Amino acid sequence: MSWVKNKMPEQEPQERRRNFSEVALGYAPDTAQSEAKRCLQCKTAPCRQGCPVGINIPEFIKHIKDGDFDSAIAEIKTKNNLPAVCGRVCPQEDQCEKYCVVGKRGEPVAIGRLERFAADQFRLSETKQPAQPAELNQGKVAIIGAGPAGLAAAGDLARLGYKVTVMEALHAPGGVLMYGIPEFRLPKEIVASEINELKELGVEIMVNAIVGKTFTIDELLNEEGYDSVFISTGAGLPHFLEIPGENLNGVYSANEFLTRVNLMKAYKYPAAGTPVHAGQNVAVVGAGNVAMDAARTALRLGAENVYIVYRRSEDEMPARAEEKEHAKEEGVQFRLLTNPMAIVGDDKGWVKGLECIRMELGEPDSSGRRKPIAIPSSNFVLDVDTVIMAIGQGPNPLVQQTTPGLEVDRRGNIKADENGQTSKEGVFAGGDIVTGAATVILAMGAGKKAALAIHEYIQKKKGC
């Protein structure tokens, strides 16, 4: 047996840095089977404890090894409604693959790539059958927000026999999968196709429905006849640094920049109606996954120089190692230990530079990370015409403000217990709106737990 993962083919960096096609190309069937053979089929399957939605990992891998791809995807789908998505974007190194026994001596089994393979085989198969909707007579549930948390809850509740309506503020469901994560990491066609499978289960998706505006939670419960509500509105409120010059033309939040490009397809402008300004020299402030996505997107729009500007060092960068590597290979330049002080504008109100100060690392702070300290008089101006702020997001307050009796914490996130129960009867919440910005699979896990709790709540209510 090999101690290393089978390689997944990728587009070459020089080629892919200027196109929006998917970077990773996926396993061919024989490679997938060869990778599946690396799995030891452990009885205890430690990998399973790392999966927030509890997929039976050795079981689906065994089906792939046997060449029975239909059974592999059927097994995955009992737990995960969006496997083609999760196989692509989950940080498996911190989840299932972290616990894999093979990983103790060599590289862990490529569980994520195998999940992706099974889902892609199924999606592209010509003989696939539409899912059979259950009889939806258990009650009515409204889900607010069609991101991974809401979609996971919707799928499980439909299977339990509930009539589910997902209300989504934007014109397309998917949440961050649709507007945030770029096409070259997660093709939008794949997101749409997995969401369509939920519709086959009988889930209704209502777009252009903004809860807090089009309806309030109290109206849904008291007037529209919903037995319960699940809030999964995500962490969509962009933060800015609050430094001088942030309102100059050419300054974007990562959310706006990515929404224009992904959801509105600005990379096809003028064939698509929404423009985006991608300059020649672009600074992206921040060093998480969102920053990597924004930087790689700017490159693909034609920028000559794209800089990641980050006040700490490479060790502290929150982005996944793989994202960082991809960005480097494509030519993104890292300006570390560099802190933005002000954005400099020209006389027409456009960005012409980013004034920064150099930093050095001091003693560890309360979080255990070494604190960046400014080096006096080390200011300099980075020559850029676009600045993208990727320094984090907070909770969108629309639902909280219009729902009396719903408790929030000091950061504005909704308070909920581990089953998603909030301070308000019949109202559950999960995903980024509860935890703050996290991951797709954690949001899905929260959605699944809440679906069970909602089921219990409604059955109990019907009982008395």
Partner 1 sequence: MYTIVYSEELAPSVKLFHVQAPLIAKKCQPGQFVIVRMDDEGERIPLTIADFDREKGTITLIFQEVGHSTRQMGSLKQGDQFLDVAGPLGKATHIEKFGTVVCIGGGIGVAPVYPIARAYKEAGNKVISIIGARNKDLLILEKEMAAVSDVFHITTDDGSKGRKGLVIDPLKELIEAGEEIAVVMAIGPVVMMRSVAEVTRPYSIHTIVSLNPIMVDGTGMCGGCRVSVANENKFACVDGPEFDAHEVDFAGLMARQRMYHHHEKQERPQGGSCKCHG
Pick from partner 1, ligand SF4, ligand FAD, none: which does 241 bind, CB < 5 to 8 A by kind? none
Nearest Cα neighbor of 24 from 14, 32, 16, 34 is 16
DSSP string, 235-257: S-EE-----TTTTSBTEEEHHHH
Pick from ligand FAD, partner 1, ligand SF4, none: which does 181 bind, CB < 5 to 8 A by kind? ligand FAD
3-state secondary structure 313-357: CHHHCCCCHHHHHHHHHHCCEEECCEEEEEEEECCCCEEEEEEEE
Instruction: With contacts defined by CB under 6 A, name the span among 3-11, 162-170, 345-353, 421-429 that binds ligand FAD.
Output: 162-170
Among 261, 431, 450, 453, binds ligand FAD (CB under 6 A): 431
User: Per CB under 6 A, does 372 bind ligand FAD?
Assistant: no
> Which residue reads 């693909």 in tokens?
300
> Cβ closer to ligand FAD: 118 or 390?
390
> Cβ closer to partner 1: 36 or 261?
261
> Which residue reads 């927000």 in tokens?
145
* Residue 248 token pair: 């100059």
Residues at the interface with partner 1 (CB under 8 A):
169-171, 207-210, 213-215, 236-238, 240, 242, 246-250, 252-253, 255-256, 259-260, 264-265, 268-275, 277, 348-349, 396-398
User: Per CB under 6 A, does 147 bind ligand FAD?
Assistant: yes
Contact 254, 388 (CB under 8 A): yes
Instruction: With contacts defined by CB under 6 A, name the span among 164-172, 217-225, 335-343, 381-389 that binds ligand FAD.
Output: 164-172
Q: Which residues contact 125 (CB under 8 A, 6 or more apart)?
A: 69, 70
> Cβ closer to ligand SF4: 56 or 249?
56
427 Rama class: left (phi>0) / alpha (psi -120 to 50) / beta: beta
User: Per CB under 6 A, does 384 bind ligand FAD?
Assistant: no
Minimum separation from the CB atom of position 325 to ligand SF4 (A)? 23
Minimum separation from the CB atom of position 304 to ligand FAD (A)? 23
Nearest Cα neighbor of 217 from 401, 64, 18, 438 is 401
CA distances from 404 to 17, 167, 230, 408, 419 (A): 48, 20, 16, 11, 21
Minimum separation from the CB atom of position 170 to ligand FAD (A)? 5
Residues in 105-164 at the binding interface with ligand SF4, rule: CB under 6 A: 109, 111
Among 39, 220, 309, 359, binds ligand SF4 (CB under 6 A): 39
Residues in 255-284 at the binding interface with ligand FAD, rule: CB under 6 A: 258
Could you give the CA distance from residue 372 to residue 337 in angstroms, rounded to a whole number?
A: 7
Residues in 50-79 at the binding interface with ligand SF4, rule: CB under 6 A: 57-58
Residues in 61-100 at the binding interface with ligand FAD, rule: CB under 6 A: 89-91
Helix 111-124 × helix 57-65 angle, to 10°:
60
Could you give the CA distance from residue 97 to residue 61 in angstroms, rounded to a whole number?
A: 13
Binding region for ligand FAD (CB under 6 A):
89-91, 144-150, 167-170, 175-176, 180-181, 210-212, 232-234, 236, 258, 289-290, 293, 396, 398-399, 431-433, 437-441, 443
User: Where does this chain bind ligand SF4 (CB under 6 A)?
Assistant: 39-42, 45-47, 57-58, 100-102, 109, 111
